Amino acid sequence: MSRQLAFDLPAQENLSRADFVVSPANALALAAIGAWRDWPLGKMLIVGPAGAGKTHLAAIWAAETGAPRLAAADLDGLDLAAFDGAPALVVEDAEAVAGKPALEEALFHLHNLILRSGPLLLTAKTPPRDWGLRLPDLYSRMQAAALTRIEAPDDALLSAVLVKLFADRQLAVAPQLIAYLLPRMDRTIGAARALVAALDALALETGRAITPRLAAEILDREILDSGAAEC
């Protein structure tokens, strides 16, 4: 069973293209955002589970197109005119507008505004048909967007991410450690970052090598913390 990581650690995610690890789970989505000039109707929706890497893909695309990035939940009260003429735009977690009239109206108008000047990239956990949209005009526009999927990280991707995260900290770890972590960690990229950071911190604090035994202590500590939080 996967385990949620809840470490209170400062972390700065590096969301550059160079830091994006490609695997069969995300290769098609990466290719889709790279072909943005050919998007039908100038818009694309990336769909995938939490932690699969949608934000990383959105950040790569935003850097390459000069697009501002917005969270759909923050659209209410936003000065939409500020985006008139923008070269492109990213709206993340687009499903958050569903059932909220002000947010649905804002996304509808923002959609129409930005497509006059550039492409629109949206992210969501599920396709628009599952969001529960109430504004018919918005629903039809979201349904018309080209859609690409990013799957939950598989073992190959998580392994590569863990190795890279350790290497970024100039830490050489044995393959046995990666094999130990994979079936025990939460299967998201964010969880991998938190786990590597926690292992690095504990190793520095105790002067011990990063081994499966040290990893077990981190994971056990997390289980105890989760149990206390639920009491």
What DSSP line would sit under 38-58, residue for residue?
G-GGGEEEEE--TTSSHHHHH
| Residue 148 φ then ψ, to 5° | -130, 145
Range 166-173 average pLDDT: 90
Tokens 């492109």 belong to residue:
88
What's the mean pLDDT in 102-126?
97
Is the per-residue pLDDT at 4 higher than 50?
no
Least confident window among 8-17, 19-28, 115-124: 8-17
What is the predicted pLDDT for the residue at 13? 56
Is the pLDDT assigned to residue 229 strictly greater than 60? Answer: no
The H or E element spanning position 43 is strand 43-47
pLDDT at 18: 72
CATH number of 24-149: 3.40.50.300
Cα–Cα distance between 93 and 162 in angstroms, integer? 26
Rg value, the chain, Cα = 20
Amino acid (one-letter) located at 226:
S
Please tell me the predicted confidence (pLDDT) of residue 85: 93
pLDDT, mean over the chain:
88
Query: Predicted confidence band at 57 (pLDDT cuts at 50, 70, 90)?
Result: very high
Predicted pLDDT of residue 27: 92
Instruction: Kindly report which listed range (27-41, 65-79, 142-156, 209-223) carries the lowest average pLDDT score.
Output: 209-223
pLDDT of residue 94: 98
Starting from the edge strand earliest in sequence, which strands make up the sheet with 146-149, in order? 69-71, 89-92, 120-124, 43-47, 146-149
Kindly report the number of other CB atoms within 10 A of residue 78's CB atom: 13
Average pLDDT, integer, range 151-166: 88
Mean pLDDT within 190-194: 86
Mean pLDDT of 155-160: 89
Query: Which of 48-52, 140-144, 200-204, 207-211 bottoms out in mean pLDDT, i.e. has the lowest?
Result: 48-52
Average pLDDT over residues 50-68: 93
Map out the domains of the chain as residue ranges. Answer: 24-149, 155-230
